[in-house]
Amino acid sequence: MALDKNQIAQRIAQEINDGDYVNLGIGIPTLVANYIPEKVNVILQSENGLLGIGPFPTDDNVDADLINAGKQTITYVKGATFFDSSRSFAMIRGGHVDLTILGAFEVSETGDIASWKVPGKMVKGMGGAMDLVSSAKNIIVAMQHTNKGQSKILKKCTLPLTGVSCVKKIVTDIAVLEVTANGFKLLERAPGVTVEEIVNSTEGKLIVEGEIPEMKLY
Amino acid sequence: MNKVVKNVYEAIEGIADNMTLMVGGFGLCGIPENSILALSKTGIKGLCCISNNAGVDDFGLGLLLKNKQIRKMISSYVGENAEFERQLLNGELEVELIPQGTLAERVRAGGAGIPAFFVPAGYGTEVAEGKEVRAFDGKMHLMETALKADFAIVKAWKGDTNGNLIYKYTANNFNEVMATAGKITIAEVEELVPVGELDPNCIHTPGIYVQRIFKGENYEKRIEQRTIKHS
């Protein structure tokens, strides 16, 4: 069975270490916050100027001056700090953010990512994605492995790039892949999904070594 | 030193056709609502607006777009605006999209007297087209240049009569940095207090950057994505 969005988020949450400063992108990455174990102490960065994102507010707790990068109303945790956009990106560009988790349309076997523009359709802009992928220490992509049967895990991206040689790991609905110097290395498969199915859904070079374990979702 | 202006119209005096404006805010959070509304009631046109976003159809910079007062937008993200899309596809509007951190840093450089600098964002993408590329410590970087504006318009939570400003939560965003990069910086504030009342330890924008300040009225503070916890 392929994973749903929440299960992809659940699997990615296992990649977060105690003490990490993490930037979560819009979409599936935002859901990751729901699966971080309580004993793992993480500080979430929002590039519009907050370290220490809290849960969504209750109805009477909404403040228009307090939003995340997806423009959703949020709260902040104890010990949070606010700052302006230039400082926010200085901490991103300076490599102080340990982990960036974001979505993508395509990823290539050399770690290139395309996530911001589909030519011919409306162009909305790259927001902070190019800054994040060019500077975070560790970049994990959350995405669907295929789109209408077409692989999105490619030899070379077909869409305009967001960044080059930057993605370290990919968690899709059917597999966990590591980007290595020799191509995608298959690390795990979704429960019930066969290695053959993953091979058939992957256009880029896929390295399969030994037994591939099933993902554990907890 | 008298920086306090009577009202928003006095504040925006001197803004003219074809000028470059910086407008603070992230989405609709922390935008200078009063100044944008007042500009929408003038016939000023041909503006180049440097702002992270372009508002929504009927609020924020969307008001100026609807009146076709904007010739060019310099932004990082311009979704959520159908009129914007229409003008862009019809070739009525020029748009320059810049990575958000690069945009913030170009504004910071403009205010800090740094004409150009190198960043890794956008290397290997279409953002790199026409830019000088250089390797530092084995990593490729693009040269980016400073941005300045004829007027920077920012919104703060509290301000004093000397132009010292404090922003609230994430309504700071681009306001603090843009306040440094206008030839004339206009600050509209929710609370305007006499000099000496704000704690000097808590000032975000020192008044040296601000030429005009006024107390704004009737803040709507529209929310784009009202998201509530499911309990």
Check which CATH number belongs to the domain holding B35 and give it: 3.40.1080.10
**pLDDT above 90 coverage of chain A, percent:** 93
Chain A hits for B176, CB-CB cut-off 8 Å, are 84, 86
Listed range (A61-70, A94-103, B154-163, B222-231) with the worst mean pLDDT: B222-231
Cα(A193)–Cα(A196) distance, rounded to whole angstroms?
A: 8
Which 30-69 residues of chain B touch chain A by CB within 8 A?
A: 30, 52
Count of the separate structural domains present in chain A: 1
Q: pLDDT-based confidence at B84, cuts 50/70/90? A: confident
pLDDT digit string, tens, across residues A43-60: 999 999 999 999 999 999
pLDDT digit string, tens, across residues A84-138: 999 999 999 999 999 999 999 999 999 999 999 998 776 789 999 999 999 988 9
* Rounded CA Rg of chain A: 17
Per-residue confidence (pLDDT) for residue B177, from 0 to 100: 98
The residue of chain B nearest to residue A90, with distances taken between CA atoms, is B101
End-to-end, the C-alpha distance of chain B in Å comes to 53
Residue A1 has pLDDT above 90, yes or no: no
Beta-carbon neighbour count of residue A180 at 10 Å?
14
B100 lies in which domain range?
A: 8-116+148-215
pLDDT digit string, tens, across residues B2-54: 999 999 999 999 999 999 999 999 999 999 999 999 999 999 999 999 999 99
Listed range (A12-21, A61-70, A117-126) with the worst mean pLDDT: A117-126
Q: pLDDT-based confidence at B79, cuts 50/70/90? A: confident
Which amino acid is it at A39? K
| Domain presence at residue A217 | no
Cα(B182)–Cα(B148) distance, rounded to whole angstroms?
A: 6
The stretch B203-207 carries a mean pLDDT of 98
Told to judge if A214 belongs to the known catalytic residues of this protein, a careful annotator would answer: no
| Tokens found for residue A2 | 């392929």
What does the mean pLDDT of chain A come to? Answer: 96
**pLDDT above 90 coverage of chain B, percent:** 93
The stretch A162-185 carries a mean pLDDT of 98
Contact A85 B174 (CB under 8 A): yes
Phi, psi (deg, nearest 5) at residue A73? -65, 140
Which among B99, B157, B169 is the nearest to A131, CB-wise?
B99
Cα(B158)–Cα(A159) distance, rounded to whole angstroms?
A: 45
| Residue A50, C-beta contacts closer than 8 angstroms, at least 6 positions apart | A68, A74, A76, A80, A81, A82, A83, B169, B170
Beta-carbon neighbour count of residue A34 at 10 Å?
11
**pLDDT above 70 coverage of chain A, percent:** 100
Per-residue confidence (pLDDT) for residue B88, from 0 to 100: 85
| Domain presence at residue A169 | yes
Cα(A39)–Cα(A142) distance, rounded to whole angstroms?
A: 23
Chain B hits for A76, CB-CB cut-off 8 Å, are 169
Strands A146-147 and B149-160: unpaired
The residue of chain A nearest to residue B54, with distances taken between CA atoms, is A124
| Residue A153, C-beta contacts closer than 8 angstroms, at least 6 positions apart | A106, A107, A109, A145, A170, A172, A177, A184, A201, A202, A203, A204, A206
Chain B hits for A135, CB-CB cut-off 8 Å, are 120-121
| Domain presence at residue B128 | no
Residue B185 at interface with chain A, using a CB cutoff of 8 Å? no
Residue B159 has pLDDT above 70, yes or no: yes
User: Any bridge partners for residue B205, and if so which?
Assistant: B165
Cα(A161)–Cα(B122) distance, rounded to whole angstroms?
A: 9
Residue A69 has pLDDT above 80, yes or no: yes
Cα(A146)–Cα(A140) distance, rounded to whole angstroms?
A: 17
Chain A hits for B229, CB-CB cut-off 8 Å, are 55-58
Q: pLDDT-based confidence at B231, cuts 50/70/90? A: low
The residue of chain B nearest to residue A162, with distances taken between CA atoms, is B125
| Domain presence at residue B73 | yes
Residue A218 has pLDDT above 90, yes or no: no
ipTM of the complex: 0.96
Cα(B110)–Cα(B104) distance, rounded to whole angstroms?
A: 10
Count of the separate structural domains present in chain B: 1
| Domain presence at residue A186 | yes
| Domain presence at residue A50 | yes
Residue B1 has pLDDT above 80, yes or no: no
Per-residue confidence (pLDDT) for residue B86, from 0 to 100: 87
Contact B104 A89 (CB under 8 A): yes
CA of B187, closest CA in chain A: separation in Å? 16
Which among B77, B100, B221 is the nearest to A131, CB-wise?
B100
What does the mean pLDDT of chain B come to? Answer: 96
Cα(B97)–Cα(B113) distance, rounded to whole angstroms?
A: 23
Chain A hits for B79, CB-CB cut-off 8 Å, are 122, 124-125
| Tokens found for residue A46 | 């929002």
| Domain presence at residue A25 | yes
The residue of chain B nearest to residue A59, with distances taken between CA atoms, is B228
CB pairs under 8 A between A and B: 180
The stretch A13-25 carries a mean pLDDT of 96
Handedness of CA A139, A143, A146, A148 (dihedral sign): negative
| Domain presence at residue B138 | no
CA of A196, closest CA in chain B: separation in Å? 33
Which among A63, A69, A124 is the nearest to B79, CB-wise?
A124
* Residues listed for chain B: 231
Contact B227 A63 (CB under 8 A): no
Contact A71 B224 (CB under 8 A): yes
Residue B205 has pLDDT above 90, yes or no: yes
Chain B hits for A66, CB-CB cut-off 8 Å, are 169-171
A112 lies in which domain range?
A: 5-206
Strands A183-189 and A175-180: antiparallel
The residue of chain A nearest to residue B87, with distances taken between CA atoms, is A122
Q: Is B69 within 8 Å of B44 (Cβ atoms)?
A: yes
Which CATH number goes with the domain that contains A11? 3.40.1080.10
Ordered strands of the A206-207 beta sheet: A76-82, A50-53, A43-46, A21-24, A99-103, A138-142, A169-171, A175-180, A183-189, A206-207
* Maximum pairwise Cα distance, chain A: 54
